[in-house]
Each structure stands twice: as structure tokens, then as C-alpha cells.
Structure 1
Amino acid sequence: MHKKGLTAAIFHGLLLVCLQSTVALSAIAQSPPLPLLTHVEQVRRLTPDEAARGYPIRIRGVSIYVEGSHVSVFPHHFGDRVEVEGVTGPGRFAPVVLEHKLRVLGRGRLPKPRLYSWNELANGQHDGQWVQVRGTVLSASIDRKSWRETTLAMTVASGGGSFKIRVPITRELDASAWIDRQVVIEGVCGTLFNFHRQFVGVLLYVPRLSLVQQAERAKEVSFDDLLRYSPDQDVFRRVRVRGVVVHQQPGSSLFLETNGQGLRILSQQEGLLEPGDVVEASGFPAVGGSTPILEDALFRKVGHSSPSPAVSLELRGPLERFDGRLVSIEAKLLPREGPPDGSTFLLQSGTKVFTVSAQTDTALERMLAISPSSEVRVTGVCLVQSGGLWGTPQSFRLLIRAPSDITVLHAPSWWNLRHALWLLAICIGVLLVVSILLVVVSDRLRAQMAIVREKIRMVVIHEERDRIARELHDTLEQELAGITMQLDLAADCFQQTPQTARQAVEMARNMSRRSMIEARRSVWDLRCRMLEEGDLVSALAQTVESMTNGERTSIHVKVEGEPRRLAATMELNLLRIGQEAVINAVKHARPNRVTVLLQFRPRVVRLSVVDDGCGFEPTNPVLNGSSHFGLLDMRERAQSLGCRLEIHSEPGGGTRIELEVPQAQ
């Protein structure tokens, strides 16, 4: 630091006098004429390049500091009203005046200084200004080497930082007597800077020791008295409190507790305190998160006592009663959502979710070692945050000081959300595999059932064909033998007894017709592939389609209900009954319309054949041979199905043939 150069040209309305060589004067004389500056503010607004041009100045003001006045070429003193003539210079931090001539005009009056905090002076903008500061003396000593005269060197803490102060003294004194005093100081704001003209600190030049006065001691108040209503109270005055240290954030804040109340104190003062230290702090009351705080505070240790015990944090009731206090609470540690290296954790107590901040690395390591969903007891300093229109407490957070502030009560249960999701995924996977297997097995089972049904159908068909073959052997062969015998009888009796021959021929003809019907029925049964390739409905429709006798008779097949497959024997007999009924109607009744109705009901299947032909008398039918044998065949088939064939007809009224087959068949 350039300590001697720091004191150059310091004025309030006037810069300090400084002797310089005449080399600069000759350079200025050769430059073009520049305007005369008569106010200090004009000089302060010059840039370094502009100030280096050497603007002429003539300024009147009051001398506020004279360095080494007893050796000065110009005999003037602190407080004199003077007139200075000279030129501007760039200085090493701010513009300065290179003094050529100084004339004392008489005694002047010092300007009234403004009270500044450290934060307001910590930018160099008030360099050379007459200021007032308030603070606590941290150190004091006698300096006999750094200056031209003996000075009292002090370091004063004020707000967010500390000042260095130099006061010229004419006699020895006990510097230690100033330590820990609250003082109010008036002086010139000087600047500490580096080679690059950059601000690095504040140095206060005090002309006289009398300008360092002991401040009125701040009024001591209780925590309850802060920011309470009082018509006569000046809320902007510094107050003093006393309490036991609960926690300290060095260089930031301090938490005190006394009589069951907590207080947060904002202070950038250096110095470490321990829980249990009794301190006295002074600062300005301000609004905190939910309770008052102290700002720009200074503190000093005055004793030590046992640390304050933690109180149980009750979520029912006003939360602000715990603000700033050491509390403990049992809660569940929630899974972390932020970065893994963060110091903030979420906990839940009942339905209340709050945050916990680890204040030390060891506390952070302890929190990181605890598994999520663990039941823990945490102890820490409570900070309550208010919000909303009425400023009611909304949330709180805890500051954990050390690993001992965290105790694990219960480890997390194995049955948690993560494991439940895994189990659910496994169950879903098993169900999916089982479903796939069921689908595959069902497809194979359906295929096997289709094969079995087909084999059963083939077996039934083969059995039916064997039965028909036996019937052909038992009936058709016997009929043909009978026909042969009747024809032989007719041939023998043709000459002798013609009447007997005619009867034999008639008998042979009837037997031939019956044989034809039996043969036709057997052939139908043998050739019935329609049921093998389709169902009863399609087979019946194909069968009757070719039975119309030109355009005279129309045949319609109708279906009611949901068609379904029936037993092979049932489908075959129903098909043949329908065929025979349609053939008889078309051949003998001469109808205009024949309707075949197939009804699928839940437990029965009903077949009806209705025509609008000539009809007949069912109780005493006059039928030819083929019709008679056709009715017999239909009745036999109906009996084989376990049901009765019903015939409804009258001469001129058409015919209705129907049967109802139980589903069990």
C-alpha cells in the first residue's frame, strides 16, 4: 500500500496541499488554455486523462486535514478558511490538486458530517469527504514509524466491515483503554488502493483526538421489546441485547436465546463464539422472517454459561415462538430430489414437510449416510418464514450444527415404494407370461378340439354309412327278392289266372317304388358332403335350391336365432326331413310358395316346412305310394331323434310339417 500517497489532496470543498515540482507547470503552460475550475466537484468528476491535462483551479474552502502541519511550507491549520490556486493531476486513485499558491482567509466552520456505514464507504466513491462513522474499537496502538508524526492507530468494526483509523497525537497515552469502546468518529475518508488504481480498503484520517468520542451506550432491551408499538420510540436507534449463544454462522449471523426466546443477529464481525457463550450485541432492529432481528450488529463476549437445551417443536400453535431457538423434532427423512452434493434435506412430521440444512461438512456427511424413509430426531436452530397478506407463519427450516444433532430412531422398512414397484413389476411380468401361455394353450386346445370334432364327425359319418349299408342289405335286397317272386308269380299265372297276375304285378310295382325311395334315401345319406363342408343352414339352402319346378314354386329358407352346430346325426336327420317335406310339397301339392323355417332356441331346434298347396286330410290321406313312403321316412327319422313329427293340413288350405328336437340330442 502507498500509505503516504494516500493522504494527498484530501478536502471537503478543498483538497489537501501538496508540493510538486515546476516541471508539470511548464508542461501545462505549453498546452492550450483550459477553463478555470472553481469547485471541488468539478475536479472530482474529471477522468484520470482529463485531470492529467492540468486544469487551472482556484478554490476556496475549509482545511479539514493537514498532514505534518509543523513542517508545511504554507503555514495554515485545521479549520482555516483558505484559497488554493494550482492545477489538476490524475493522482493514484482519484484526481488531486497540485498546489501552487495558498492563502489563509481566516477561521472557517467545519461542515456537518453525514453518518455512513462501512458498506456505504466500501467503494471509494467518498474519497476525500468529511464523514462520520460509528463502531466498536477492536484494536488500538501507538504508531511512531508510519507517519511523519506520532499517531493513534485503531481498527473500528462498523456494520459489515472494519475501518483503519489514524489520529495525530502530541503526547503519549494508554491506547488499550480505547479497546472495546463504542465510538463516534469524524474524519476524512481515505482510500487504500493498489497499483492498478483499484479500491482495497478504507483509511479514516482524523485531524484531532477530540473528534473520536465515546458513543452513547445503546439502550439495553429484552427480546420482547423489539419492534413493539410505542409512540415515543425511535425504531432507528441502536439497541443492545444480551443472551446465550445457540449457533454462529461466522461473518454472517448469530443466534441468541434468553428466557425461552430466540433472536437472530446479523453481523459481519469477525471472531468465533461457542454455544453457551454469553454475549452483548448492539444493532438496529429490523423485520425478520416472522420475528424481529438485529442488523449491522456488533457483539462482544461477556461470559459463559451452560448451553441452552433444545425444546420440542410443537407444530400446533404459533410457530413464531420457536423462531431463532434451538428445537428438536421427530420426523421421516424423505428421498432427495436435489443434487447429491447439496446440504438441504426434506423431512416430514405428520403432514408437515420442512427442510433441514447442514451447517458443517461433518453434519452433511452424517445426513448423507442416513437412508431415506428413516425415522430420525433432529436438533437445530429453527427459522420460521411468514407469508401471505397477513404475514402468518407458513413454513420453517432447521439449521443442523453438528453430527450429534441427528439421531436415527428407526431404519426404513423394507416394504417401501421402490420395493413395492419392483414387486408390482414382477407380478405384471408373471401375469403377462401366464396370459401369453394361456393364449398359446387356448389356441392349441381349440385346434385339438377342432381335430377331435372332425374325427367324431368322420366316425359318425362312417357309422351312418355302415348303418345305411346294413339297411340296403336288409331292406333293398329283400324288396328286390320280393319283387322277383311277384314277377315270377305273375308270369306263371298270366295265362291261367290273369287277375292273380295283375295283383302280383301291382304288388311288384309298389315294392319297386318303395325300394326306389329306400335307395334314394340311402344314396342321400351316402352323398351328404354338404354337412361336412358347411353347417345345417347352408346345407338346407343348397339342397332346396334345386327343387323348384320352374317359375311356379318359390322356396325360401329362413333362420331365427343364432345358428350353431349340432350333433352330426341330428343335422343329417333334420336335413333329410326338410328335403323330403319340400319334395313332397313341390311334387304333390302344386304350391306357389314353400317356406322352410329353422329356429335355434336355447334348448331346442325347431324345423317347419309350410306350403300354400292343395293340402290333404291327415287323418285319412289319399296318397300315392311315393308320398306315403316319404311320410313314413320322415316319421322314422323324427323318432330316431326322440321327437314327434307333426302334420297340419286340410284340403285346399296348404300343409305345415314341423318337429321340435331337444338340444340335449
Structure 2
Amino acid sequence: MLFFFPSSRGSFFSFLEKQKSFSALSCLALLFFPLAIFATPPPPITQAQQILSLKEEEAQQHLPIQIQGVVTAADPSWNGQFFIQDSSAGVFVDSRVQPIPTPGTLLRVTGVTEPGAFAPIVGRPLWKAVGSSSLPPAKSVSIEQLVTGSEDGQRVQVQGWVHSARKEAGQWILALVEGSSRVDLMLPRNFEPPISKFLGAKISTAGVPTPKRMNYNLRRLVSVQLWLSSSDDLRLIQPASPDPRSSPPTPIRSITQYSIDNSPGRRFLIQGIVTFHSGDTLYLSDATGGLEVRLAEEIAPKIGDEIEVVGFPIVERGLPILVDAIFSPTGNQGKV
């Protein structure tokens, strides 16, 4: 073995000091190296609220999760995904296992945190049914609060006026409106609602809000839908006003003027000539004035046709507008 010594005495002692420092650092490294390898993993998250409280970068760390709660929303179109709620909050579970658990099933779920498209979620889940439970009490919120996204995944109760009803892929969807805010109610797939009873009525309902449209790049919510687990979640508060088609059309000039019968759920029948049409928006004209009409569905009446529309009046920029309107031709075409 070869040894190398410094040429001078001062250098020799300096060399020894460096060797001591190096040896001390080496010992410390050897002492803590096994701890780095065998570090204890973080304890699992056991409450849904803890998951939702994570920032995006924290949720990306795939922290372990062990929670137990009741399924509050699930649908066959979700490919196995569902929402679960415990005593602290509700959270989305990105499961791909079929068949999906039904609302009211009590589950024990393990997985890891993931940031999700909008809010933190349970990723890589494994779940096991451990019983059944009643759904948690619904928190009363406004539709305006709902569309902020702060109640995403929570079982909530809202009320408003039913403006429209449509059926898509075998499922009825009601548009519920409160002031300038609205949400789509996704009714249970096996439920056939009495549309004439609900259209224009004020109702209360409970369900779980989920994003309808998203800006995925910015992780921002654009619109919301509320999923109902049972038809029992629908409750009539105020019946709809009489169908306006049983009375003569209202002159355009009279829309939003004072009437003792006015209410947020009142519909109006308007008859006029189509002067403009683009997408779901058209303009009507009668002998008293003109009116912007926003249709419940995109259709194609021709400019110059005389039509009747039934819809709900709102005011924007000081002018009346008829929204969620449905139309029918009068048979008189090409008036312009």
C-alpha cells in the first residue's frame, strides 16, 4: 500500500485535519444512509376533506388514502367512476371496475391522491362494499354558489324554476334556473317525469354537482350539472302557472311590464315574424316592437316566417329577452 505525505510539517497537520473532517462526514453519511432507504411512508389520508384540501402539486405526490363512506352518485356512462362521501366531505373516485356501486352502498376505499381535472381525487382505487347506508344530509346552497365549483362532489340541495326539459341518451335533463344562474338536473335514467307538472314550476332537489364543461388547460369550471340518485329527491314548491297557449299571444311591448300575475316562473306566448336567425337565437317582430328570443334547442325557422314562441322573460342591458323558448309555426310563411 502506498502513502503520500505532504512535504512540510504545516501541510502535514493541515492534511490530517482534512482527513478527520472527511472521516466524520463519511461516518455521518453511513449513519443516515439506511434511514433514507428505509424511510417510513406517510400515514394514509383517512378523510375526504383532507384530500380536497391538497394543492395541485401536493396531490401529484400520490399520497396514500384509506377512507370509508357512502356512494352518493354513480352512472353507467361514467365507466365505473363514482362519488363517495364520509362525515367530512365528498370526493371523486376514479375507479374503472364494473359493475359500479350504487348510491347508498357503504364502501371502504384505498388509493392515492391525484390532482384530477378540477379538484383532487382518489386515484388507483381499490374498493370493497362493507354494507349500506342512507345518503348524507344535503347541504342547502344557492345555484349561484353551485356554479362556482366550491361544492363539487358534495351532496347539496338547491331550488329554482324549471325552464326546460329534454331527453338525451334515454335520460331526462331539466334546466333549473335561479336569477341569472342555472344548472342542469340529471334525472335517474329509469325515471319518466311528468314534464307538464314540472315545466315552469318551482322545485327543490338534492344531488351531487359535477363539472359539465371545463377549461382543462386552466383547470376552470365553465358550467355545472347536478346528478340525482332518486326521483324522491324532487319536491314541488310552487306549481307552474297555466300554459300560456290557452290564451291569446302577448304583445311584445307588454313583456316585463307590470302585471299582478308576474313571477319568475311565468311563461309568455309571443307571435311574430322572424327577422333574424343564427344558431339558437332569433329576433321576432310584431306590430308593437321587436324581441330577442333564445331557443331551448337549435332549429331553423326561415326569415320571414310567422311563428309562435313560448318562453321565460329576462332583462339584459335594460331590454327584455325570451329564453328557453320553444317555437311552432303558425302556417303563415314569407311575411317579410
TM-score normalised over the length of structure 2: 0.54
Matched, 1:273 2:281: no
Corresponding position: 1:208 with 2:230:
yes
| Equivalent residue runs for 1:398-409 within 5 Å | none
Q: 1:185 aligns with which of 190, 205, 225?
A: 205
Q: Secondary structure, in 3 states, of the residue corresponding to 1:129?
A: coil
Which residue of structure 2 lines up, in the alignment, with residue 156 of structure 1? 176
Q: Would the alpha carbon gap of residues 151 and 189 (structure 1) be closer, same or farther in structure 2, given more than 3 Å must change?
A: same
Matched, 1:58 2:83: no
> How many residues are aligned here?
206
Secondary structure in structure 1 of the residue aligned to 2:149: coil
2:53 corresponds to 1:45: yes
RMSD after superposition: 3.4
Question: Where does residue 300 of structure 1 map in the other structure?
Answer: 266
Distance 1:174 1:112, change over 3 A: closer
Residue in 2 that maps onto 1:131: 156
Q: Distance in 2 between matches of 1:184 and 1:53?
A: 40
Looking at structure 1, the residues matched to 223 and 177 of structure 2 have their Cα atoms a distance apart, in angstroms, of: 13
Partner of 2:298: none
CA–CA distance in structure 2, aligned partners of residues 99 and 184 of structure 1: 36
* Displacement after TM superposition at 1:53 (Å): 1.2
Q: 1:176 & 1:216 partners in 2: Cα distance?
A: 13
8 Å contact from structure 2 (residues 202, 265) kept in 1: no
Match in the other structure for 1:89: 114
- Following superposition of structure 1 onto structure 2, how do residues 148-547 of structure 1 map, counting pairs within 5 Å? 150-170=170-190, 175=195, 177-191=197-211, 192-195=213-216, 196-216=218-238, 273-275=255-257, 279-281=261-263, 298-301=264-267
Over residues 500-542 of structure 1, what are the superposed CA-to-partner deviations in whole Å (9 max), with x where a residue is unaligned? xxxxxxxxxxxxxxxxxxxxxxxxxxxxxxxxxxxxxxxxxxx
SS at match of 2:222: strand
Q: Do 1:155 and 1:165's aligned partners in 2 also have CA atoms closer than 8 Å? A: yes
Which runs of 5 or more residues in structure 1 are unaligned?
1-30, 145-149, 219-244, 249-271, 282-297, 305-399, 402-665
**Per-residue deviation, 1:181:** 1.8
**Structure ranking higher on relative contact order (CA contacts 8 Å, 6+ apart):** 2
Q: Which has the higher helix share?
A: 1
Per the alignment, do residues 159 and 187 of structure 1 end up closer, same or farther by CA in structure 2, a change over 3 Å counting? same
- State the distance in 1 between where 2:269 and 2:261 align: 7
Distance 2:237 2:202 in 1: 5
Q: Quote the residue 1:103 is aligned against.
A: 128
Structure with the larger strand share: 2
- Do the aligned partners of 2:147 and 2:223 also contact (CA within 8 Å) in 1? yes
Are the aligned partners of 1:86 and 1:101 in contact in 2 as well (CA < 8 Å)?
yes
Letter in 2 for 1:194: N
Check whether the contact 2:209–2:224 (CA below 8 A) recurs between aligned residues. yes
Q: For 2:199 and 2:117, how far apart are their aligned partners in 1?
A: 33
C-alpha distance in structure 2 between counterparts of 1:277 and 1:216, whole Å: 19
**Relative to structure 1, is the Cα distance of residues 75 and 125 closer, same or farther in structure 2, using a 3 angstrom cutoff?**
closer
**Quick check: 2:200–2:267 contact (8 Å CA) kept in 1?**
no
> In the alignment, which residue of structure 1 is the partner of 2:94?
none
The letter of the residue matching 2:214 is: F
CA distance in 2 between partners of 1:184 and 1:38 (Å): 33
Deviation of 1:280 after TM superposition, in Å, equals 3.0
Deviation at 1:61, TM superposition (A): 0.6
1:140 aligns with 2:165: yes
Aligned partners of 2:54, 2:163: CA distance in 1, in Å?
37
SS at match of 1:125: coil
Q: Distance in 2 between matches of 1:38 and 1:274?
A: 53
Report how far residue 187 of structure 1 moved: 0.2
Q: Write the deviation string for residues 110-158 of structure 1: whole angstroms up to 9, x where unpaired.
A: 11112211222232111111000111110001111xxxxx321111112
Structure 1 runs of 4+ with >6 Å offset: none
Superposed displacement of residue 203, structure 1:
1.3
Give the CA deviation at 1:94.
0.5
For residues 189 and 206 of structure 1, what CA distance do their matches in structure 2 show?
9
Query: Shift in Å at residue 167 of structure 1?
Result: 1.5
Q: Secondary structure at the match of 1:65?
A: strand
> In structure 1, the residue corresponding to 2:112 is in which secondary structure?
strand
- 1:33, distance to aligned residue in structure 2 (A): 2.8
Name 1:67's counterpart in structure 2.
Answer: 75
Shift of 1:99: 4.2
CA contact (8 A) 1:84 1:99 kept: no
For 1:274 and 1:184, the matched residues in 2 are separated by 26
List alignment gaps of at least 5 residues for structure 2.
1-38, 81-96, 241-249, 271-317, 320-336
CA contact (8 A) 1:137 1:181 kept: yes
Deviations, residues 529-579 of structure 1 (Å, cap 9, x unaligned): xxxxxxxxxxxxxxxxxxxxxxxxxxxxxxxxxxxxxxxxxxxxxxxxxxx
- Say if 1:278 and 1:303, in contact at 8 Å, map to a contact too: no
TM superposition shift of 1:159: 3.5
Supply the distance in 2 between the matched residues of 1:96 and 1:102 (Cα, whole angstroms).
14
Distance 2:105 2:149 in 1: 26
d(CA) in 2 for partners of 1:38, 1:123: 26
The percentage of aligned residue pairs carrying the same residue is: 25
Normalised by the size of structure 1, how large is the TM-score? 0.28
Partner-residue secondary structure (3-state), 1:63 = strand
**Conservation of the 8 A alpha-carbon contact between 1:134 and 1:183:** yes
Counterpart CA distance in 2 for 1:160 and 1:204 is 17
For the residue of structure 2 that corresponds to 1:184, the secondary structure is strand
**Letter of the 2:129 counterpart:** V
Matched position secondary structure for 1:124: coil
CA distance in 1, matches of 2:124, 2:232: 29
| C-alpha distance 75-67 of structure 1, shift in aligned 2 (>3 A) | closer
Distance across 2 between alignment mates of 1:51 and 1:32: 19
- TM-aligned CA deviation for residue 184 of structure 1: 0.8
* Structure-1 separation of matches of 2:117 and 2:269: 47
Query: What letter corresponds to residue 262 of structure 2 in structure 1?
Result: E
From the superposition, tell whether residues 201 and 81 of structure 1 become closer, same or farther in structure 2 (CA, over 3 Å): same
Q: Which string of whole-angstrom CA distances, capped at 9 and with x for unpartnered residues, describes residues 485-510 of structure 1?
A: xxxxxxxxxxxxxxxxxxxxxxxxxx
Determine the structure 1 residue equivalent to 2:102.
77
Deviation of the 1:47 alpha carbon: 1.1
Shift of 1:32: 8.1
* Larger radius of gyration between Structure 1 and Structure 2: 1
